[in-house]
Amino acid sequence: MPRPSFLARPPASETPASAMVFAAMGAVPKLVVMLVFLALLALVAWPGSASAQSAASRIVTIRDAETEHLVRRLVQPLLRTAGVDPGLVRTTLIQNRAINAFVSTGNRLFIHTGLIQQSTGALELVGVLAHETGHIAGGHLARLPEEMRNAMLRSIGAMLLGGAAAAASGQSGALAAGMLGGQASAMGEFYAFTRSQEQAADQAGVNYLDRLGWSSRGLERLLERLLDQELLAVGRQDPYFRTHPLSRDRLDFIREHLARSRFAEAPFPADLEAAFAMVRAKLDGFIDSPLMTLRRYPESDTGAPARYARAIAQFRSGRIAPAVAMVDALIAEQPHNPWLHELKGQILFEGHRLADSLAPYATAARLAPEEGLIRLSHARVLMELGQPAQLRQALSELDAAMRTERESAFLWRQMAVAHGRLGEMPMADLALAEEAMLLGDALAARTLAARAEAALPPGPMRLRASDLRNAAQPENLPPRRR
């Protein structure tokens, strides 16, 4: 099977012995993948499944600006309607073909790519997001037993820290070390606890949808499909079925609501439906094999999503020129679509046409200036070109990306590289100290921050170095990080 094109190949010396997938850092690709191990985390390892019976479960999280942008457009109105500050909820995409979404402690929302890929339209995704918003607004996870909440936080923290380590180093080995904790004993209690709250989340969710003028029909369709799995063996059921206890009563409630809702047949906003179709096609193109993608989106389908998926399939098959031509045709129809320019830049970059990739990345950054992942990709190309003026521009792009990607260890590593190439070693040390803190290396953070503090002139950067040095002192760290 060919290597997925959205993964950059590491240097031979860094290639792990096991064929683990690692975070691609070479081109800051459109889908940045991190392989993460969780041992029987209550919200992820499903009872009766192979992963629940094994020592650890493989979790792959992805980053994609277009997909994350769509999710924000869908979930933020729901959160605001529920009285929840959208800025307090973090969303993580999990690459998994199964239908599922769930919330964890700390208001973190996890969405399986399979929920998007298997939804027949945006309303099914929206229905699930409305339900999960009901759990968040209802404070359901806050009522979990304290020991379960703490175990979940430790497991999720280890997962995210492991992902950051992989992203910074290109090594997947760092992931496994932090992931072998977790617990399975809380599973029964967790399900017993959540079963009584599903209807409350449904009631809240359909209320939010009505207040936005959106139909609950998608939630009905999804529940119908999932309830058809009741007779399947547990291991063949979608995780949503097992993490969100279903009953005919829940489906009946949704149907009764639709019978009296004046928005039951309300069409979903066309722009959001179109954006959803493009995201679903992109995920199909990047996650499924090129052969499967071309079968699902035959040449007879001339719609933009199908052509998008086929372009990605061509790219992943190493056919750079046809892929670029197909993306160019889409750009001619949608010149203000930043995601198309971003994809063109990626195809050219990974096709070893570095100079040609700069213009589409610059256009994408201009069209979507708030998208930190795009600004980071643009900076990466500028740094590879390497001229002093381009390094200065790369630093400007990294500063812009920091508004949304401040917790990205890779961003700080790139910042350090750019400053280093410009001979600005104190600033490079400061950036490396930031990276070390994110990766949990307090000793390195202290050393680097102290060195930066000693060399920097008085001002904000020196104060930041001092703050980092103090934060990395053993007495200021959680016990597990000292």
Summarize pLDDT for 386-428 with one digit per residue, the tens. Answer: 999 999 999 999 999 999 999 999 999 999 999 999 999 999 9
Regarding whether 241 and 157 lie in a shared domain, the answer is: yes
Regarding whether 59 and 98 lie in a shared domain, the answer is: yes
Residue 15 DSSP code: -
Which residues form the domain of 115? 12-260
Residue 181 DSSP code: -
**How big is the CA angle at 279 (ends 274 and 282), to the nearest 5 degrees?**
130
For residues 276-304, one letter each, b for 16 or more C-beta atoms within 10 angstroms of the residue's C-beta and e for the rest, the string is bbbbbbbbbbbbbebeebbebbeeeeeeb
User: Does a structural domain hold residue 128?
Assistant: yes
Total number of domains constituting the chain: 2
What's the whole-number mean pLDDT along residues 188-196?
A: 49
- The angle that helices 372-385 and 354-367 make with each other, rounded to 10 degrees, is 150
Read off the pLDDT of residues 14-35 as tens digits, 9 standing for 90 and up: 222 222 222 333 333 345 443 3
User: Does a structural domain hold residue 278?
Assistant: no
Are 105 and 41 in contact, with CB atoms under 8 Å apart?
no
Task: Say yes or no to pLDDT of 62 above 60.
Answer: yes
| Most confident of the ranges 193-207, 239-253, 273-287 | 273-287
User: Does a structural domain hold residue 276?
Assistant: no
User: Does a structural domain hold residue 274?
Assistant: no
Neighbours of 44 (CB within 10 A): 26
pTM: 0.80
Regarding whether 330 and 222 lie in a shared domain, the answer is: no
Cα–Cα dist 165/153, whole Å: 18
User: Does a structural domain hold residue 20?
Assistant: yes
What is the CATH number for 322?
1.25.40.10
User: Does a structural domain hold residue 405?
Assistant: yes
Regarding whether 327 and 218 lie in a shared domain, the answer is: no
Regarding whether 470 and 337 lie in a shared domain, the answer is: yes
Read off the pLDDT of residues 294-327 as tens digits, 9 standing for 90 and up: 999 999 999 999 999 999 999 999 999 999 999 9
Q: Which of 310, 305, 294, 381 is nearest to 337 (CA)?
A: 305
Token code pair at residue 263: 């928005």
Regarding whether 228 and 311 lie in a shared domain, the answer is: no
Confidence of residue 176 (pLDDT cuts 50, 70, 90): very low
Of 244, 260, 276, the last residue of a domain is 260
Among the ranges given (4-18, 88-102, 115-129, 207-221), the one the predictor scored with the smallest mean pLDDT: 4-18
> What pLDDT score does 226 carry?
81
